[in-house]
Chain A
């Protein structure tokens, strides 16, 4: 078990982070090259101020028309994304790993709070899954790729929760948790999770076009 733990927190972690960071950089760079080659009539309109205007307005809950028309989904989306980032980044155990491997340490949040954030992420995933099963328009659109993205995100939180509470075999669960987290990182550039990398640019373009060409709000 110890050797397995060493492996998943050692070489496998390097691999996962490598795929995540280099893969994201590669995808961004190649997408930019493609945009320059094929999307000049769009690229020409990119504007910092209109991009930021759009991004900021969409980051305010219930500000955009779409947020207002689907309140439950809006709450779930915002809460999910906030917890998804905050819980793993500021978890005591994760910060200890950074400290252990790189001597880097920063502020943490209490485990009892992270525990709740984790439950929120799991709950939001279940909400998203419920929509995919029960809401006709979402069910109609759902493909294997969407389920894959959801499962990849759910897995590290579920295993993390089980490990923390030592509900099943702890040693195994920790290893599963680490692997699940690594799968999520590595999957970001190459699955629907790539919206983490690209959405800021699609949003920025829409903002630029609505600001610069259409003289109207895009939210």
Chain B
């Protein structure tokens, strides 16, 4: 029982560990613990009564009944507790397992917060373990590649500057067939809205940009996108533990909006990017909140709905279930707006999963876990069994999930557990159902 019995080969972890010596490990672990952590970690380590209440919280633990090494406290027990108890004097092989737990067996979803009477934040502890692993150079290859891309291009997917604007113009061109007056305004100073996306949108979910442009167009929004680096709001560095880069890319993102003197940023349907602007990236840059107002698509679409700016030609056939993405729901309380919006869009009921709203079960893809790539896919899908069971129990055919990573994860879950469900973004449904002028 425990991580040493389920180690998975990963080039990034293996090469990182091969460069380590016990001396390097001790030095770096203590540098992070002394330099970057304080009373928060210390009190968490000391007041955890090892009561096991959090075992019921974690989808990994629920999906592996009888294996306590997947419980939140069990994972801390195998990672941070070891580093603290041994004062960083651990051998390189132990770091391999520690990194594998921190990067691939915890989604930083924070559901365990609802289970811990003393208020321990396991997500913070796991983030700190990742920070140490990053400093040790032991990170899974796939997610490290996205982090390198952030460093080199300020976007996650190695999208070149000209490819970015080219993609926007291509989508604009396509959309004008359907909606002749549509524009994707670039670098429009003083616009009400700066719309930002994650790099996987131009890379392989291009239809989302098309749909967003169509919705903005029909709503009559005064909006723009930037042609310059900063257009990507995503942040894998936050998840690898590369906080210096996290701060840098977040600053570029905010400043690209400020340069255009826009009133606010509207983010696409992404969970982790939102976490990066209200929780982690902003704090690293010493902003208590984002320096420019930022709202998530859920809130933006909700505004459009309440202002009567989304006119529906039809309703989407329900019933549906709603998947609550951790980073926008437990992270930012958008669950009721999400439901109001879904009720407006869907003809039929919302059949809730057993765990819903802030008590949701994670899709098992978040926190960078899906970004660790194919080596860890089977572990991830196995960890989502609890989620699959809850989805199956709803008996519906449609999942509304306003987050890219959740989509990626749920697609695998739906496939692996033969749930036969479709997964929809809010944008998919709005675009499909809204009134469009005849061409």
Binding site for B on A (CB under 8 A): 31-32, 34-35, 37-39, 41-42, 44-45, 54, 58, 64-67, 69-70, 73, 77, 131, 135-143, 146, 149, 192, 194-195, 198-199, 201-207, 209-210, 213-219
**Measured between alpha carbons, how far is A135 from B53 in the docked complex, in Å?**
11
Q: Give min CB distance, A42 to chain B, whole Å.
A: 6
- CB contact under 8 A between A219 and B114, given known A35-B40, A141-B74, A213-B278: yes
On whether the beta carbons of B44 and A202 are closer than 8 Å, the reply is: yes
B287 to chain A, nearest CB (A): 10
User: Which of B64-72, B90-98, B367-375, B423-431 lines the interface with chain A?
Assistant: B64-72
Cross-chain contact B39 with A34 (CB below 8 angstroms): yes
Distance in angstroms between the alpha carbons of A205 and B42 in the assembled complex: 14
Can you name the residue of chain B whose Cβ is closest to the Cβ of A217?
B358
Q: Contacts A66-B56, A198-B46; is A214 near B117 (CB within 8 Å)?
A: no
- B288 interfacial contact with A, CB 8 Å: yes
CB pair A202–B333 under 8 Å, yes or no, is no
Q: CA–CA, A195 to B332, complex, Å?
A: 29
Residue of B nearest to A64 (CB): B114
What 11 new A-B contacts, CB under 8 Å, besides A41-B283, A140-B69, A142-B50?
A: A39-B39, A45-B288, A136-B66, A137-B55, A137-B73, A139-B68, A141-B52, A192-B47, A195-B118, A199-B118, A216-B331
Residues of chain A within 8 A (CB-CB) of B53 are: 66, 69-70, 73
B120 contacts A by Cβ under 8 Å = yes
* Pairs across A and B, CB under 8 Å, 30 listed: A31-B39, A31-B42, A35-B39, A38-B39, A39-B39, A41-B283, A42-B40, A45-B288, A65-B359, A66-B57, A66-B114, A66-B115, A70-B56, A73-B51, A131-B52, A137-B55, A139-B68, A141-B77, A143-B50, A192-B49, A198-B43, A198-B47, A203-B119, A206-B120, A215-B334, A216-B329, A216-B331, A216-B333, A216-B358, A217-B358
Nearest opposing residue in chain A for B69, CB measure: A140
From B69, B117, B278, contact of A64 by CB (8 A): B117
A65–B288 touching, CB < 8 Å: no
* CB–CB A31/B43 < 8 A: yes
Residue in chain A with minimal CB distance to B282: A41
* Minimal beta-carbon separation of A34 from chain B (angstroms): 4
Contacts A39-B40, A138-B50, A202-B44 given; does A44 touch B288 at CB 8 Å = yes
Give the residues in chain B near A70, CB-CB below 8 Å: 53, 56
Complex contacts, B116 vs chain A, CB 8 Å: 66
- Known A-B contacts A64-B114, A216-B329, A218-B113; the reply to A135 vs B50 at CB < 8 A is no
B interface residues with partner A (beta carbon < 8 Å): 1, 36-40, 42-44, 46-47, 49-57, 61, 66, 68-69, 71, 73-74, 77, 113-121, 278-279, 283-284, 286, 288, 329-335, 358-359
Contact of B73 among A37, A67, A141, A203 (CB under 8 A): A141
Contact A137 B68 (CB under 8 A): yes
CB distance from A69 to the nearest CB of B (A): 4
Contact A206 B38, beta carbon cutoff 8 Å: no
Q: Assess whether B46 is in contact with A140, with CB atoms less than 8 Å apart.
A: no
- With both beta carbons as reference points, the residue of chain B lying nearest to A138 in the complex is identified as B52
Q: Knowing A137-B68, A195-B118, A205-B119, say if A215 contacts B332 (CB, 8 Å).
A: yes
B47 touches A194 (CB 8 A): yes
Q: Which residues of B contact A139 (CB under 8 A)?
A: 68
On whether the beta carbons of A38 and B37 are closer than 8 Å, the reply is yes
- The chain B residue sitting closest to A128, CB to CB, is B51
**Chain B: CB-nearest residue to A199:** B118
Query: Which residues of the other chain, B, contact A136 by a CB distance below 8 angstroms?
Result: 66, 68
Complex Cα spacing A202 to B36, Å: 18
CA distance A67 to B71 in the complex (A): 17
Given known A-B contacts A73-B51, A146-B49, A194-B46, A38 and B38 have beta carbons under 8 A apart: yes
Q: Is the CB of A38 within 8 A of B121?
A: no
If A136-B68, A202-B119 touch, does A216 touch B57 (CB 8 Å cutoff)?
Answer: no
**CB <8 Å contact, A66 and B39:** no
User: Which A residues are CB-close (under 8 A) to B115?
Assistant: 64-66, 69
Asked whether A192 lies within 8 Å of B119 as measured between CB atoms, the reply is: no
Given contacts A31-B39, A136-B66, A216-B333, contact A195 B114 (CB under 8 A): no
